[in-house]
A and B are shown apart, each in its own frame.
Chain A
Amino acid sequence: MSDIITGVSYIWQPMTLLFIFMGVTFGVIIGIIPAIGGMTAMAILLPLTYGLDAQLAVVLMIAALSVSSTGGSITAVLMNIPGDDSNAPACLDGFPMTKSGHAGRAVAIALTASALGGLLGAMMLALLVPAVRPIVMAFGAPETMMLAVMGISFIATLSGKSMTKGMIAGLIGILLATIGYHPTTAITRYAFGWTYLFDGLPIIPMSLGMFGVAPVAELIGTGTSFSKVGNLGVTTQWSDTIQGIKDVFRYPWTVFRSFVIGTIVGILPGIGGSAAAWIAYGQAKAVSKHPEKFGTGAPEGIVASQSADNCERGGALLTTLAFGIPGSSAMVLVLAALLLHGVVVGPQFLKEHMSMAFTLTGTLAFANVIAAAILLVLSRQLAKITYIPGHIIGPFILVLMALGAFNMNGQVIDVYVTFVAGALALIMQRFGYSTVSLFVGFVLGEMTERYFLLAWDISGLAFLLKPIVLVLIALTILGTGYRQVAALVKLVVRMTLGKGGVRPA
């Protein structure tokens, strides 16, 4: 108890508050810029923390990391450009809302869901610190592979009008993910001797191309602004923002499911926020009463993906502190910062620095609330971006995309790859193939293959009979065929009990 009081009271010291505020500001700005995600934020901050006190250094980094995705959701919603790859699902419903004149509401949904996800993630982090070990130990390669398969299975629900076309797009995405070095044999596949492809197609240019080029093409082709309906005075009113905040609380079960998905994905090393956001989005669509509204501006879609994404940070921090296993790539640098300041993580950390664990938990929660509050105040101004004429903002976004693509590795070729991916997205959309399905396959394909081979090496196909794998298989079937399973159960109940649910005499 004293650890909790000591840890939380540290947050309220003026210097700590200042560092949280600085981290939040930095994280939001970094998040808004396409392709610069939490990883880059951590990389920039790490050398700057060298002279600082260990606790302040990590507070600064955690504050920035926890809100980088929140910043990225703004460009995803307003311009269809994901600030980070984990913001891509927010484009699907956020951008159609913007186009229909509800930019302020869509931004408010994204921000509130992000803050709520972050808060729940932090609470879970505080609760799970003593109990996390058995959970992590229970998830080996077979279970992790099945989790990835679960994500991929949602391609079926994300397919749009034609499931065949959706499956084709998803399989193309998975095959694109197999380009480059094989995860265990190190043989290069489909690279055709081109060294650029040896490490596989880069994810940032792919996401920028898949989601960013099409709306820019529309701006350039038509010259109109992003928002084509409504007028500026009406759609940037406070009532629109307040409606967005209310929308999030209309879907408590969606938030809860996303929270569970985000926490599990966060705890498991090497999966990341992108998978959490996509699995949560697919799950929300699969069980929604109105799945047909997803992709056309359904608030539920934004709620699901953003809350899962921010919730994932709590889980990732948990394994980093409790075991010294970074839950995500960005957490590697948090780990580095702790080691740099002489703080050894792992079970020993929880014995010696329990109060610091609670400080970081509080920082995670507090940073999310501050970021959402600041951005909600600014949301009406941000929404006005969507009324700038297409011929003004179009080239500006082209430049932003090119800079974002180049920034990742400092390679010019990434800029060209972005636009090749964009051309592919335009062709696919023209003929009714889902670019979302392709991207889900692309994101989760490599992970599925890696863990499949590991599981195969350990126990052959017998890995499919492990209890957690069986539960995940059942959840996958339930998730994708929820409606069919529900109809089947209804039919069986009716047949057993007779019409009207009354057991025949």
Chain B
Amino acid sequence: MKLRVIFPAVILMVVLALIVQTLGFSFKSKVFPLTMAVPLAVLVAVQLVRETRSDEVIKDKFTGRQYLMVGLWIGAFLLSFYLFGFLVGMPLFNLVYVRLHRFSWLKTAICTALVAAMALAFYFALSHVDWYQGAIIELIKG
């Protein structure tokens, strides 16, 4: 199956499910979403048929490996944030990322210090907000 068929197919399934759910709402609640969802379902169905018949080649700006690397790095960023929070997780991610891309220790240290300073600036500026400290600290705190 062509890769580009998947997107309209998924959207069509989601929209059909939404239409079914919307039918259960009161008139006022359903009139606007239905007015939008029904034409959307029709347009997506048309596009789905077009995609299955089309032979056009989509030019991609990334290779498969690059997609994987981007996904992994952003995943690592979110994991670092989840585990260690803002004040530790973000500078830590920056340190690992910059160093692994073969920048000197000096440049790595400067970048990490800048990120830490930015996180601290936000921390002090937004002292009214309950800052997320990371899953590990929260686990230790109980």
B52 within 8 A of A: no
Q: Which residue of A lies closest to B100 (CB)?
A: A391
Q: Is the CB of B101 within 8 A of A391?
A: yes
A472 within 8 A of B: no
Q: Is the CB of B90 within 8 A of A184?
A: no
Q: Is the CB of B46 within 8 A of A221?
A: no
Across-interface contacts of B115 in A (CB, < 8 A): 395-396, 399
What class of interface size applies to chain A in its complex with B? 35 or more
Q: Is the CB of B58 within 8 A of A217?
A: no
> Of A171, A174, A175, A222, which contacts B66 at CB under 8 A?
A222
> Interface 1/0s, chain B 22-43, versus A by CB < 8 A?
1001101100110011011001
Q: Is the CB of B73 within 8 A of A220?
A: yes
Q: Is the CB of B103 within 8 A of A410?
A: no
- Docked CA distance A185–B29 (Å): 7
Closest-CB distance, A428 to chain B (whole angstroms): 8
- Docked CA distance A222–B26 (Å): 50
Q: Is the CB of A430 within 8 A of B93?
A: no
Q: Is the CB of A168 within 8 A of B21?
A: no
With known contacts A392-B98, A412-B132, A175–B40 Cβ distance under 8 A: yes
What class of interface size applies to chain B in its complex with A? 35 or more
Q: Is the CB of A392 within 8 A of B103?
A: yes
With known contacts A415-B81, A416-B78, A431-B7, A171–B40 Cβ distance under 8 A: yes
- Spell out B's residues near A (CB within 8 Å): 4, 7-8, 11, 15, 18, 21-22, 25-26, 28-29, 32-33, 36-37, 39-40, 43-44, 46-47, 50, 58, 60-62, 66-67, 69-70, 73-74, 77-78, 81, 86, 90, 93-94, 97-98, 101, 103, 107, 111, 114-115, 118-119, 122, 126, 129-130, 132
- Spell out A's residues near B (CB within 8 Å): 164-165, 167-168, 171-172, 174-175, 178, 182, 184-185, 187, 189-190, 213, 217-218, 220-223, 391-392, 394-396, 398-400, 402-403, 406-407, 410, 412, 415-416, 419, 422, 427-428, 430-433, 445, 448-449, 452-453
If A220-B69, A407-B122 are given as contacts, then 13 extra A-B residue pairs at C-beta distance below 8 Å, sorted by A number, are: A164-B46, A175-B18, A178-B33, A189-B22, A190-B21, A217-B62, A221-B70, A222-B66, A391-B98, A392-B103, A430-B60, A449-B32, A452-B32
8 A-B residue pairs with Cβ-Cβ distance under 8 Å, sorted by A, are A165-B47, A171-B40, A175-B15, A185-B26, A185-B29, A398-B77, A407-B126, A410-B130
